Amino acid sequence: MSTPSAPTIRRLIEHIARGDAEALDGRGVNASHRVVDGERNLSVKVHCEARSTARELLRIRSVDAELRGTAWYPPVLNIGFHGEERPRLVVVRPFAPGEPAQDTRDHIDQLALVLRDLSGRTARTAIQEELIADYASPWFGAGERERTIGALDGEGRSLVRSLDIHLDDLRTSALRLTRTDEPVIYHGDLHGRNLLTDGSGSPTVIDWDETGYSLRPADAGKALWLSCRRGRGDFELDPVAARRFVERLHTHLRIPYARTGDVAKLGAIWFLPRSDHLSLLAERDAELVPWYLGWVSRFWSRFEANTELLLRTAEALDARGSTDDEQRS
């Protein structure tokens, strides 16, 4: 049986330009489309100009080579640049059937298994240093530049106060969790709504825009905050979901309960708005900036109470584990 040829980027972009593609919802800086090409149902991601670089292409290709054949990973079918004056990086994958969970708490068990798989995936070949980065990386040595969000009014000013209060502590936690050995594969936006299920019970992990390699459990930190909420748009953690997530971190990723606070603070770095990200959002749609600032402001308004909940949860689980160990001995 012959293998289907790779779908050409030019032809897929023509589909999109003619209006033959379905634009997929999202508030990110890249644009996603569903394209039917012959008998194939494809996902076409068109990266914004600022993220259409040779480095981005190399990151995605490198991770794709490592993860091909993994059950939950949709492989790259084609990747390259389109356009002459303003070339955009285009990534083509199979379109993943299924729907995201309306409640991300429903996916915690599946998510933990994916996190476990990724945490054990060190690169099989030497990785260029420029490919090793996560959302915490820009905040080491560039914090003052990122404080340019202080020029914003309203929500921006309250966020700067959060940055001033918490940044040193967040960076300290990130450093405590930083490995000195080989980096592991990093998804970049792993949470329940990026796991699609089609009824078979096997998920597909989508949205690999930020993928690369990290020396920290960055996926776990971000997923904790995005997967244990009571509902979308809010950041009140559900105690039952938080307990289950912290248990899975300990069981599947071998993260000590005493490090739960550090994992939470590492993940919180993602909710510090960066100046370049705000600029990219404004380029796509100016209305996204006030929406985004309000969204992360809700995160910081609950950060201290939520962190206390996680610490109490981890302490109780640690105490229970110690008691169980004593009883078994």
Q: Which residue has the tokens 């960055």?
A: 218
**pLDDT tens-digit map of 178-234:** 988 889 999 999 988 899 887 666 789 999 999 999 999 999 999 999 999 987 777
Length of the chain in residues, anyone? 329
| pLDDT exceeds 50 at position 329 | no
Q: Of all residues in the chain, what percent carry a pLDDT higher than 90? A: 57
Q: How high is the pLDDT of residue 121?
A: 83
Confidence of residue 146 (pLDDT cuts 50, 70, 90): low
| CATH class of residue range 99-328 | alpha beta
CA distances from 8 to 45, 46, 47, 80, 209 (A): 13, 14, 16, 10, 20
**273 vs 312, higher pLDDT:** 312
Greatest mean pLDDT among 16-20, 109-113, 147-151, 308-312 lies in: 308-312
Helices (H) and strands (E) in the chain, counts: 10, 10
Entry pTM: 0.90
Q: How high is the pLDDT of residue 212?
A: 94
Of 24, 146, 191, 149, nearest to 95 by C-alpha is 24
Q: Of all residues in the chain, what percent carry a pLDDT higher than 70? A: 89
**pLDDT tens-digit map of 280-309:** 888 888 888 888 888 888 999 999 999 999
* Fold for the domain defined by 9-94: Phosphorylase Kinase; domain 1 (3.30.200)
Mean pLDDT of the chain: 87
Q: How high is the pLDDT of residue 169?
A: 95
| Rounded CA separation 56/62 (Å) | 10
Greatest mean pLDDT among 74-83, 92-101, 121-130 lies in: 74-83
**146 vs 240, higher pLDDT:** 240
| pLDDT exceeds 80 at position 162 | no
| Rounded CA separation 132/178 (Å) | 12
CA distances from 268 to 143, 225, 271 (A): 15, 8, 5
**pLDDT tens-digit map of 52-76:** 999 999 999 999 999 999 999 999 9
**pLDDT tens-digit map of 15-47:** 999 999 999 877 678 999 999 998 899 999 999
Contact between 30 and 48 under an 8 Å Cβ cutoff? The reply is yes
Q: How high is the pLDDT of residue 326?
A: 43
Q: How high is the pLDDT of residue 144?
A: 54
Confidence of residue 142 (pLDDT cuts 50, 70, 90): low
| pLDDT exceeds 70 at position 328 | no
Domain boundaries, the chain: 9-94, 99-328
